[in-house]
Structure 1
Amino acid sequence: MKTQEKILITGSGGQLGTALAKALANRYGTDHVMATDLHPKTVDNLDIGFLDTTDTNSVDTIIEKHEISQIYHLAAILSANGEANPAKTWEINTKSWLNVLEASKKHEVTKVFFPSSIAVFGPSANKLSASQTDFLDPLTVYGISKAVGEQWGHYFFSKYGLDVRSLRYPGVIGHGALPGGGTTDYAVDIYHQAVQNKPYTCYLTKDTILPMIFMDDAVRATIELMETPKENICTRTSYNLNGLTFAPWEIVESIQKWFPGFEVIYSPDFRQSIANAWPSFIDGSPAKKDWGWSPHYTLDEISGKMIAELSKIYKMEKLK
């Protein structure tokens, strides 16, 4: 795809960032994508440079120097890790976002993406089907920072005309990076243990139902949203992004179709109370109506891809 866009990704070393960086580089060309992170590494042939998004001058400088036209701001501390240090999580998650917004306004960036989360929902949301407009009363500092971030994005759009777009991700399942400290990350780690023929200790109860999405769908949704004509975007806080919904026992049964002897021990910890506050299903109909969103993957299709890809990775590690 030929483009004049210059795209900046912050926090690109995480689970979503790793996959999104590859997809954007494939779509727009490596010369048009700058993948940055606080802890730089290499994603295939895509170099990731250092960027501390809490440093105002650094954010301003990189946008100006490279004439950035689009930003995907992924830098954040996730839900479970965030509860270990609430003050640091608030500082990183909110300050970095405000830095990106202010610099984007100053340098006339055309589009900015903010990843929100189902963590914005709390006890007031409809547990069986959280709607786009359910009241937000999150119970984690991560969820609070995401709810506030949505409102800051809406404010910059309403006051300054900055084209901010956002998705409320459910739990994201992918094989490109290790789990990053989210409450739904059991649905990633469980595959790592299964392909290594190890039992898994699950920190949620077997019947804890949560919304999930496969990484390929999450990346596709992100790019589809960002490429949708501006006039079609009706939600300027954050779109609910639906994928599929399941409980740990269901993912175990799916994995056992490949590994019949796979065993799981259920030992709920502090993450159970976080999961209990979240809805088991989110209504994504506004996303479908405004920009045609539709998920593709079933649970067994996810299991098949995760097991196939992770088996390759662990086989290569054994050969080293």
Structure 2
Amino acid sequence: MATLTTGGAGFVGLDVARMLLEEGETDITVFSRNPSPARLGNLADRVTAVAGDVGNFSHVLEVVKASRPEVIYHLGAMLTGPSHIDPASSIQTNAMGTFYVLEAARLFDVRQVIFSSSIGSYGYNLDGGDLTDTTLQRPVSFYGATKAFGEHLGLFFKDKYGLDFRGIRYPSVIGPGVTTPSNVQYTSWMIEESAKGNPFTVWTTPETKVPVMYITEAATATVQLARAPLQDIKMVNYLVDGLKPTPTAGDIADAVRARIPNAEIDFVPDPARPGLHGRSQSIDDSYAREEWGWRPTHDLPRMIDDFLTQLART
């Protein structure tokens, strides 16, 4: 089965490609701004790499026409930090790019599009309790607004054209190699910087709690959603959770110190991020569990161990 992954050389995209290869897929096209051999690593000679911009309709049409995928994993996006700095580019990449992917899928009879969304589509100012798939979406970040738009755009294409569209709302995804800043990237950086012997200052309070998921589980959930029988897909856009119970920033720091005793981690809340400090948010991903059997397998100690093992290989 032919597959195309936008943002395929990115953080989650590489793990999705790796997982597809492990499952025996051989016709995989990775579409990204810079799918260089250095970036693709040991996947470079096993996938078709195409350089391009998801915010350019011609690029999207060309790669879909050439690869003729049955499934598109649409993972390419500008994240929270860059979207805040350059909203015009974020509109082009995240909003128009999603439209371009969906329209290309329609034009070239692609069966399925899997869309990477985010809990950022909800926002911070919630009325307590767990986030669910029926919680009102009121994003406060530009990135979150584009993700909410993408979800509803996909529903339009599903309802009007019969496209098998499915969206997955990731929590904060933890893993080595994160380079793009966002409000909650301290979750990855406190582990990676400590492993490198560098001190790290977390820009929120130890009590701050945000849902997190390890990178390999994000890829697993993405592929599992794509594989689920169509008749089981009712909610269409799904929250997925990772670690349970949801750890605080302090919990993650303590787990790092347990494995790296000389880790220097301190907490200095950034006054420019008032909506983050003391936040206590958890996910109820019942629909993903009930409709397509999602079950995370990592706890906090295992996640730290896997992170450090993966980092040591790079």
Q: 2:186 is paired with a residue of what secondary structure?
A: helix
Structure-1 separation of matches of 2:293 and 2:138 = 28
Q: Structure 1 153/295 Cα, relative in aligned 2: closer, same or farther at 3 Å?
A: same
Q: 1:32, 1:155 → 2: CA distance?
A: 29
Taking the aligned partners of 1:286 and 1:261, their CA distance within structure 2 comes to 42
Instruction: Tell whether the 8 Å contact from 1:116 to 1:168 is kept in structure 2 after alignment.
Output: yes
* Cα distance change on mapping 1:155 and 1:270 into 2, 3 Å: farther
After superposition, the C-alpha distances for 1:218-244 in whole angstroms (9 at most, x for unaligned) are: 1111111100011100012x1011112
Give the superposition deviation at 1:39: 1.8
State how 1:223-242 maps to structure 2 within 5 Å.
Answer: 223-236=223-236, 238-242=237-241
Instruction: Decide which of 29, 34, 42 is 1:39's aligned counterpart.
Output: 34
1:127 is aligned with what amino acid? G
User: Relative to structure 1, is the Cα distance of residues 201 and 171 closer, same or farther in structure 2, using a 3 angstrom cutoff?
Assistant: same
One-letter amino acid matched to 1:64: K
CA contact (8 A) 2:238 2:288 kept: yes
Amino acid at match of 1:200: F
The offset of 1:174, in angstroms, is 1.7
Partner of 1:87: 88
**Contact 2:212/2:242, CA 8 A, preserved across alignment:** yes
**278 and 152 in structure 1: CA distance in 2 versus 1, 3 angstrom threshold:** farther
Q: Which moved more, 1:113-122 or 1:257-266?
A: 257-266
Q: Tell me, what secondary structure is at the counterpart of 2:185?
A: helix
Letter matched to residue 152 of structure 2: Q
Matches within 5 A, 1:1-20: 5-20=1-16
SS in 2 for 1:122: coil
TM-fit CA distance, 1:271: 6.7
Which residue of the partner structure matches residue 158 of structure 1? 159
Q: Is residue 21 from structure 1 mapped to residue 17 from structure 2 by the alignment? A: yes
What amino acid sits opposite 2:267 in the alignment? Answer: Y
Q: What is the DSSP-based 3-state SS (H/G/I as helix, E as strand, rest coil) of the residue aligned with 1:35? A: strand
Q: With structure 1 as the length reference, what TM-score do the two structures score?
A: 0.90
Q: What is the SS of the residue equivalent to 1:239?
A: strand
Matches within 5 A, 1:165-176: 165-175=166-176
Aligned to 1:264: 265
Q: What's the counterpart of residue 184 of structure 1?
A: 184
Q: Percent identity?
A: 28
- Note the C-alpha offset of 1:274: 5.1
Shift of 1:180: 2.6
1:188 deviates by 1.1
SS at match of 2:273: helix
Segments of 5+ residues of structure 1 without an aligned counterpart are 314-320
Q: Which runs of 4+ in 1 moved over 6 A?
A: none
Q: List per-residue Cα deviations over 1:176-202 (Å, max 9, x = no partner).
A: x33333322211111111111211111
Is the 2:81–2:180 contact (alpha carbons within 8 Å) kept by the matching residues of 1? Answer: no
Name the SS for the 1:45 alignment partner.
Answer: helix
Q: How many residues align?
A: 306
TM-score, scaled relative to structure 2: 0.92
**Residues 53-72 of structure 1 correspond to what in structure 2 (within 5 A)?**
53-72=54-73
Aligned Cα root-mean-square deviation (Å): 1.8
* Structure 2 Cα separation of the partners of residues 263 and 206 of structure 1: 14
Q: Residue 127 and residue 85 in structure 1: after superposition, are their counterparts in 2 closer, same or farther (change >3 A)?
A: farther
